[in-house]
Structure 1
Amino acid sequence: MNLLGALGLNFGLLVVIMLILWLISVRIKDVSFIDAFWAYGMAIMASASFLQIQNPGSLAYTIWALTALWGVRLGTHLFLRWRKEGMDPRYKKILGKATDKQGMSFAKAALLRAWALQIPLLFIVCLPAQLGILLAGSDGLSTVSIIGAVIALIGIGFETIGDMQLKAFKSDPESKGKVLDSGLWKYTRHPNYFGDFCAWWGIWLVASPAGWPVWIAAVGPLFLSFTLMKWSGAPLLEKSLKKNRPDYADYIERTSGFFPMPPRKIAKG
């Protein structure tokens, strides 16, 4: 198999899909559904890789199934949330700055500030799944792969439960202005992000026996981890929550920022 050729085909497919979605976003004047495609896109990359190999074994099937499960579940959740809540304030602010202060058209701002940026990032984060499937061939599962699959499933389950708890909390009128600090949210301020973290490190571990290119592809989950913990994930969200939730400062004091931990006791007086 020509590995670079297969990856190039995947990348070309991703570019075409992104351009089509960009045209749709220009038509409806909203790019917010890009978050849903972030998840769907990884499932598509895994599926495109799977379709390019002959006689796939249990290793390839497992990598594809885990990536597809994660992507379809999260993508559907984010798409339905977008349909219900409308334009994401983050993208409204980003594109508004580009159009109002930098004189860009909406079409140009949407392309350069949203869609074009997501292409390489999505492709890189998804490299463990793509390379793992393309290199796995007819290989079976090793002990390392089984451990990775368990970690990935824990992550997917953790994220799913966290999202369900947050959705139920937001749907309760009495929760307005309050902080969700029960369920998984009692142990970490970001159970959904922690679930993503586990899912993609687990997928990388599943794929790692396929060969050294997958080891290098650890750059994917490393970048995702940085994004979730230090860049556009938790820090950006918490900046907004501190302004809009009076009790959030106390929540920060007693609750772990990322990895689940027992709540800390706050000294009184």
Structure 2
Amino acid sequence: MGFIKSEWIVSYGYGFGVALSALSLLLKQPQQMSIATVHAVALIFYGFRLNTFLFIRNRLSSTYRDIGKKIDEKSKERFSTRIARTPFVVSCGLLYYGLYLPVLLTSKLVTDATAMQSANAGVGIGMNVIKLLVGLQWFGYMVAAVGDLTKSYVKASEKNGKFLVTSGIFSVLRHPNYTGEILAWTCNSLSGTIAASYLLRNKFSFKILSYLGLSMVGWIGMVFVLLRATTGLEERQKNEYGTTDTYKEWTKKTWSGWKLGAEDDKTHEITMDEETQEDYGSGI
């Protein structure tokens, strides 16, 4: 998809990458309902929910279609040919693969009788922690979804969409899209880490160890992108609205979410410019 259209690398490619990977696992390894199934369905839900949202929004809004054109124009400046995008496309693919691997690890855990016995030993703390983490992962995805829907609904109800959204979930979180995803991907990674620890405890495997390593790389890469996005959006909102009473009251009552320190001006070079980033919502 990234070779067809540059924008799709970090939008539809992102959603389909994680969703179809998890779906393929369920189709290849049919099993009874388990925490691994719930874990896989979380990624399927997130990917298809995100892509459905992006598709509908782009169909209804000329603004977002213009954003896509700007991204492609920047891509042509950065890459002389479509083939020249290969390193970037492959690196994104590896990132999405790393996000999927925790699901593969939990799936392997529930099909390994000995490892499952260890995870369920005593009060079953291992499996209970995984269940809690998967539940929090679902919660994070829901927070991101509510953030997308709230911002889109509020901005669509006004003729001029260039303003702060401070109602609904935004009255608690300033950037629910990014905050929800950071929580979800962190819980996703921790679930896979715990599953891998029981698998390795049962039988050492370089394959399981490599899956664990790649999943950690995927988590670090995604969370870093989201932290930079949160920081950049926070700074731009402060610069644009910081002198208004609405902004001051809003920041007093809400949490920005996790973020980094000061960032440089090229943080969002991959996706879009500073004028359009604030309203874009989910996606890398």
Q: TM-score, normalised by structure 2?
A: 0.66
CA RMSD, 1 decimal: 3.4
Are 1:63 and 1:207, in contact at CA under 8 Å, matched by a contact in 2? no
Deviation at 1:48, TM superposition (A): 2.2
1:96 has 2:73 as partner: yes
Q: Alpha carbons of 1:201 and 1:165: their partners in 2 closer, same or farther (altered >3 Å)?
A: same
Separation of aligned partners in 2, 1:96 and 1:176: 24
Deviation at 1:190, TM superposition (A): 0.9
Which residue type is aligned with residue 227 of structure 2? M
**Which string of whole-angstrom CA distances, capped at 9 and with x for unpartnered residues, describes residues 110-132 of structure 1?**
x3486344212211222212333
Structure 2 counterpart of 1:147, from 109, 112, 132: 132
**Which string of whole-angstrom CA distances, capped at 9 and with x for unpartnered residues, describes residues 185-215 of structure 1?**
1222210111112222233344444223465
Q: Alpha carbons of 1:40 and 1:99: their partners in 2 closer, same or farther (altered >3 Å)?
A: closer
Alignment of 1:17-32 (within 5 A): 21-22=1-2, 24-25=4-5, 31-32=7-8
| Count of paired positions | 229
Deviation at 1:151, TM superposition (A): 0.7
Deviation at 1:103, TM superposition (A): 7.3
Structure 1 counterpart of 2:230, from 225, 228, 234: 234
1:223 has 2:208 as partner: no
Are 1:52 and 1:134, in contact at CA under 8 Å, matched by a contact in 2? no
Q: Partner of 1:76 in structure 2?
A: 52
Which residue type is aligned with residue 191 of structure 1? P
Separation of aligned partners in 1, 2:65 and 2:249: 27
Q: Partner of 1:201 in structure 2?
A: 186
Are 2:19 and 2:48, in contact at CA under 8 Å, matched by a contact in 1? yes
Q: Partner of 2:271 in structure 1?
A: none
5+ unaligned residues in a row in structure 1: which ranges?
1-20, 260-269
Q: Alpha carbons of 1:244 and 1:33: their partners in 2 closer, same or farther (altered >3 Å)?
A: farther
Which residue type is aligned with residue 255 of structure 2? S
Sequence identity of aligned pairs in percent?
A: 21
Are 1:32 and 1:82, in contact at CA under 8 Å, matched by a contact in 2? no
5+ unaligned residues in a row in structure 2: which ranges?
121-126, 198-208, 259-284
Separation of aligned partners in 1, 2:79 and 2:38: 48
Which SS does the other structure have where 2:163 is aligned? Answer: coil
Alignment of 1:103-142 (within 5 A): 104-105=80-81, 107-108=82-83, 111-112=85-86, 115-137=89-111, 142=127
Are 1:32 and 1:88, in contact at CA under 8 Å, matched by a contact in 2? no
Which SS does the other structure have where 1:177 is aligned? Answer: coil
Which residue type is aligned with residue 256 of structure 1? W
Which SS does the other structure have where 2:7 is aligned? Answer: coil
Are 2:234 and 2:256, in contact at CA under 8 Å, matched by a contact in 1? no
**Which string of whole-angstrom CA distances, capped at 9 and with x for unpartnered residues, describes residues 17-64 of structure 1?**
xxxx24543xxxx63474133122101111223334364661321221
1:176 has 2:152 as partner: no
1:62 has 2:18 as partner: no
Separation of aligned partners in 2, 1:104 and 1:32: 18
